[in-house]
Structures are given as C-alpha cells and as structure tokens.
Amino acid sequence: MPRRVAGAKQATERMVADLRREGVWSSADEALAAVAFKLAEVLDAGAGMATAAVARELRATLTQLRDARPADDDVDDWIADVSASVQHPEV
C-alpha cells in the first residue's frame, strides 16, 4: 500500500511558509502561492476526472516558486512526494 502523505493544502502551506522564512519573497511569489493554495484545495476536495491535471498544475506552480530560490533538498523531496501517483479512495 502506498505511503499516505499530508493533504496537498497542508503540505503547500508548509512549503510556502518555509520559502517565506528564507526572506526572499516578492509580490509575484505571493500570487503564485495563492494559485498553489487554490489548486491544493481543489485537489484535497477531490478533483474527479481532473485530478491528474490539477496535480500537474500544482506541481508546476510549486516548482516555479522553488526555482526562484537556491536549491533545497528538503523542498525537492517534498515536491517528489506530492508528485507521486495519486491514489483514489475506495468508494
């Protein structure tokens, strides 16, 4: 059975908080963070047939936020976890 990770919104909030603590944060980063939060909410709520597309867009948004900063292995590991295959709950 695949390992269960925190909800997308909770994990996104932690990542954004970590990036903000680095002290390099712009208004563009704030806009990207808002997009990431909304995508994470949609993913956590169950995106139905659009789950893969929403997950890809969230991953791209988080990668864009991360790439604006120096490399961080913890962030890379987190993105790899979020990028893992999505498991649908049994109905």
Is 0.85 topped by the overall pTM?
no
Q: Note the pLDDT of residue 39.
A: 93
8-12's contacts with Cβ under 8 Å and 24+ in sequence apart are 8/39, 8/40, 8/41, 8/43, 8/44, 8/58, 8/82, 9/37, 9/40, 9/41, 9/43, 9/44, 11/40, 11/78, 11/81, 11/82, 12/36, 12/37, 12/40, 12/58, 12/62
Look at phi and psi of residue 48 and say left if phi exceeds 0, alpha if psi is from -120 to 50, else beta: left
pLDDT tens readout for residues 23-78: 778 888 999 999 999 999 999 988 889 999 999 999 999 999 888 765 556 666 66
The span from the CA of 22 to the CA of 1, in Å, is 36
Q: Note the pLDDT of residue 4.
A: 46
